[in-house]
Chain A
Amino acid sequence: MSIDGARPQRKLTRRELLGSAAGAGLLALAARARSARAAARPPNLVIILSDNHRWDAMACAGHPFVRTPQMDRLAREGLLFENAFCTTPLCSPARASFLTGLYAWRHGVRTNAKSQSSWSEAHTTFFELLEREAGYANGFFGKWHMPGSGQPALRGVERFVTFTIEDGQGRYYDCPLVVDGRDEPSRKPYLSEELTDRALDFAAERRSGPFCLYLSHKAVHHPWKPAPEDVGIYADAPVELPRGANSWTGYTNGEIFGGFDRPIESAMRVYLETVTSLDREIGRLLAGLDARGLLEGALVVYASDNGFLFGEHRHVELRWPFEEVIRIPWLLRAPRLVAEPGRRVPQLALNIDLAPTLLELAGVSPPASMQGMSLAPWLRGSQAPGRRAFLVENSKEFPYSAPTYRGVRTRRHLYVEFEGRHRPTLHDVAADPRQERDLMGTPEGERALAELRPMLAALLRGERLDD
């Protein structure tokens, strides 16, 4: 051995040369066979769902200072859907839409309140179909928060880790868990970290088939609490209030239940600190999967249930039919499936599209009853057709001030009809993304309505308006 540990070089014999060439050939063949088997096997599916994360609160979406290197990595190595939306801007209905591929009026979870609606065990989720049709092992980790009594009996889910405390909203620190129906304390103090650990444990289990991991974070729901290392990282960041808002908008105009316990500027800072904490956990999940050799062949999706208002339109929280609320972040990384990684997808993508997309990529035909469309063609290229319009809906929930409404969002317009004393609204969201100019009663508006009203009626009949 040389002093630096390198072996001294010598000439190889012919036999050794032939032997090593044959060995290398065998290794290459074995690697090719492994690769072929991996390509034939359905991909592992990793879905990371956050809560109330605005589409624009990511560096890759243009935010001026928030640090989200892991989300940026997903966008860089995969796809960023720049027109992704939830169909109901509220936690429980949106989450039910992700799982079932159905609009809220069809799956019946209309609000967060169990007095108004409840999750039906009769619904078919993508978990059930993935397990039954493609042999997936499925794990659910985190926020369930669906109205109903007790724990759900989710068919097709092998591991179910959730929390019921605070009406199912959970706590950022020391959140008691319910693991497969049994109460268990959290092993780590910070909930996002604990859930990531549990998800990684599940992914690391030895199994012959693929897995689907659904990691549903409490973050970044209020009351925001970042991990200790992120507290105050944006204390001096240049936060700007939205036009028309003041520091106390969260306390007035019926917004008092929106969860604000501080001036809006301070709330925005701690919200973004919590986003960065979440981003770190995404990084830990990706690294953990990578270390186990599970990342390259996997499909990783990052999305949020809905957006959030920080004083825009003099509202806070969610529920209202504004772009800040109905738009969601949606990133997708799948190196073996995505053509042209780093691409931005302009088509209208919806939360109801997740279930049919996962099913198609797993080789399972989505049921005709699902109202979403598979995004799989968009993974292969940007020219795939999309949809012309979708339904935006909300049901009133006491004591929140947002009324019941039904609306239609096209690539250009958002038209909404409300129940009660609120008048319909119409905005050209392409030209006026802040929705500052209501077109109702204008000639331009009248022309648009001639097309939009029949569209809304068609969507309410359950029709899909695809290209």
Chain B
Amino acid sequence: MIEPAAAGTRAARGAALRPALLLLAVAAASFATYQLAPPAVAGRVIYLYAACLALGPSLVYPLARRRGATPGRALAGSLLVPCAWILKEGWRVSAVFSAPEAAYYALNPMALGLYQAVALQVALIELGLRRPWRRGWAAARGPLAALAAVLLFAAGLGWVGRGSGGSEIFYRYSEIHGWLFAE
């Protein structure tokens, strides 16, 4: 059992860092293995990499909160691996496109899905930690609002992509790119 650090102490400030860095190390190792290993190994290690990326907040956030991190810092820790991924992708995109276009890449439909996954996990975990069914729902306004926002956003995307398996979302994303970066 990890002992929570006292609020405001150095340990509390760094409480989110260690689990976030640990996850980043696992993600980096699995990505490197994916790139270098034979296909049979790569095809398996990709699951670990994907799990770090999409489900990492379910590990980092509760660990950080138990170690005394504030919700904000725990959220920041949870975003470390997704942000590292989007930076890596941005660097790759910048080999072909301009820096502003590489920045716009961070809003692509897959990245939006990832952000939603992070927000959903964090909101649900925070809701679970606050136990509003015992302490009253007023204590859970923040995570409830976050949850509502995520669901609303997902519903909006679902409406755009309805009947197309989601490809309409991609077409609209490309269209906005055209408006922003027309030659």
- State whether these chains interact: yes
Interface residues of A (CB under 8 A from B): 113-116, 166-167, 169, 223, 241, 244-248, 251-254, 256-257, 261, 396, 398-399, 401-404, 419-422
User: Which residue in chain A gives the minimum CB-CB distance to B183?
Assistant: A116
Tell me the chain B residues, 92-114 only, with Cβ under 8 Å from chain A. 92-93, 95-97, 101, 104-105, 108, 110
CB-based contact B96/A401 at 8 Å: yes
Interface size on B (CB < 8 Å)?
Answer: 33
CB-based contact B165/A223 at 8 Å: yes
Bound CA span A140–B174, Å: 28
Contacting residues, chain B, for A420 (C-beta < 8 A): 95-96
Name 6 interchain pairs, CB-CB below 8 A, sorted by A.
A113-B174, A167-B171, A223-B167, A245-B39, A247-B43, A422-B95
CB-based contact B178/A246 at 8 Å: no
User: Which residue in chain A gives the minimum CB-CB distance to B40?
Assistant: A246
A-B contact count (CB 8 A): 75
- Closest Cβ of chain A to B89, distance in Å, is 7
- Closest Cβ of chain B to A225, distance in Å, is 11
Checking A245, A254, A403, A421 against B89 with a beta-carbon cut-off of 8 angstroms, the contacting residue is A254
- Chain B contact surface mostly: helix
Q: Beta-carbon contacts of B62-101 to A below 8 Å, as 1s and 0s?
A: 0000000000000000000000000001001101110001
Name the residue in B39, B97, B104, B105 with the highest tally of chain A Cβ atoms < 10 Å from its Cβ: B39
Contacting residues, chain B, for A421 (C-beta < 8 A): 95-96
- Closest Cβ of chain B to A310, distance in Å, is 13
CB-based contact A403/B96 at 8 Å: yes
Contacting residues, chain B, for A114 (C-beta < 8 A): 178
CB-based contact B101/A166 at 8 Å: no
CB-based contact B93/A399 at 8 Å: yes
Contacting residues, chain B, for A396 (C-beta < 8 A): 96-97
Q: Beyond the given A244-B39, A251-B46, A257-B170, could you list 15 further A-B residue pairs with CB under 8 A, ordered by the A residue number?
A: A115-B174, A169-B167, A223-B165, A223-B167, A247-B43, A248-B43, A251-B50, A254-B92, A396-B96, A398-B174, A398-B177, A399-B108, A399-B177, A422-B95, A422-B96
Contacting residues, chain B, for A253 (C-beta < 8 A): 92
Answer whether residue B42 sits at the interface, using C-beta atoms and an 8 A cutoff: yes
CB-based contact A166/B39 at 8 Å: no
CB-based contact A241/B39 at 8 Å: yes
Bound CA span A223–B165, Å: 9
Bound CA span A411–B97, Å: 32
CB-based contact A252/B46 at 8 Å: yes
Bound CA span A403–B182, Å: 17
- Closest Cβ of chain A to B93, distance in Å, is 7
Tell me the chain B residues, 150-183 only, with Cβ under 8 Å from chain A. 164-165, 167-168, 170-171, 173-175, 177-179, 181-183
CB-based contact A115/B95 at 8 Å: no
Contacting residues, chain A, for B175 (C-beta < 8 A): 115
Contacting residues, chain B, for A261 (C-beta < 8 A): 165
Bound CA span A260–B80, Å: 27
Bound CA span A420–B101, Å: 14
Bound CA span A401–B89, Å: 10
Contacting residues, chain B, for A254 (C-beta < 8 A): 89, 92-93
CB-based contact A399/B105 at 8 Å: yes
Known A166-B167, A420-B95; contact A115-B177, beta-carbon cutoff 8 A:
yes
Contacting residues, chain A, for B167 (C-beta < 8 A): 166-167, 169, 223
Name the residue in A245, A246, A253, A404 with the highest tally of chain B Cβ atoms < 10 Å from its Cβ: A246
Bound CA span A199–B164, Å: 26
Answer whether residue B61 sits at the interface, using C-beta atoms and an 8 A cutoff: no
Sorted nearest first, the 5 A-B pairs with minimum C-beta distance are: A115-B178, A246-B43, A246-B39, A421-B95, A403-B96
CB-based contact B43/A113 at 8 Å: no
Bound CA span A60–B170, Å: 37
Contacting residues, chain A, for B43 (C-beta < 8 A): 246-248
- Closest Cβ of chain B to A65, distance in Å, is 22
Contacting residues, chain A, for B40 (C-beta < 8 A): 246
Contacting residues, chain B, for A113 (C-beta < 8 A): 174, 178
Contacting residues, chain B, for A257 (C-beta < 8 A): 108, 170
Name the residue in A167, A257, A399, A419 with the highest tally of chain B Cβ atoms < 10 Å from its Cβ: A399
Bound CA span A194–B101, Å: 40
Contacting residues, chain A, for B46 (C-beta < 8 A): 246, 248, 251-252
- Closest Cβ of chain A to B101, distance in Å, is 6
Name the residue in B108, B171, B174 with the highest tally of chain A Cβ atoms < 10 Å from its Cβ: B174
Contacting residues, chain A, for B34 (C-beta < 8 A): 252
Contacting residues, chain B, for A241 (C-beta < 8 A): 39
Contacting residues, chain B, for A247 (C-beta < 8 A): 43
CB-based contact B101/A398 at 8 Å: yes
- Closest Cβ of chain B to A203, distance in Å, is 32
CB-based contact A401/B174 at 8 Å: no
Contacting residues, chain B, for A115 (C-beta < 8 A): 174-175, 177-179, 181-183
Contacting residues, chain A, for B177 (C-beta < 8 A): 115, 398-399
CB-based contact A401/B92 at 8 Å: yes
User: Which residue in chain B gives the minimum CB-CB distance to A264?
Assistant: B43
Contacting residues, chain A, for B105 (C-beta < 8 A): 398-399
- Closest Cβ of chain B to A205, distance in Å, is 34
Contacting residues, chain A, for B97 (C-beta < 8 A): 396, 398-399
User: Which residue in chain A gives the minimum CB-CB distance to B89?
Assistant: A254
Contacting residues, chain B, for A244 (C-beta < 8 A): 39
Bound CA span A406–B117, Å: 40
User: Which residue in chain B gives the minimum CB-CB distance to A147?
Assistant: B178
Bound CA span A246–B110, Å: 21
Contacting residues, chain A, for B89 (C-beta < 8 A): 254
Known A116-B178, A246-B46, A248-B46; contact A166-B93, beta-carbon cutoff 8 A:
no
CB-based contact A166/B164 at 8 Å: yes
Contacting residues, chain A, for B93 (C-beta < 8 A): 254, 399, 401
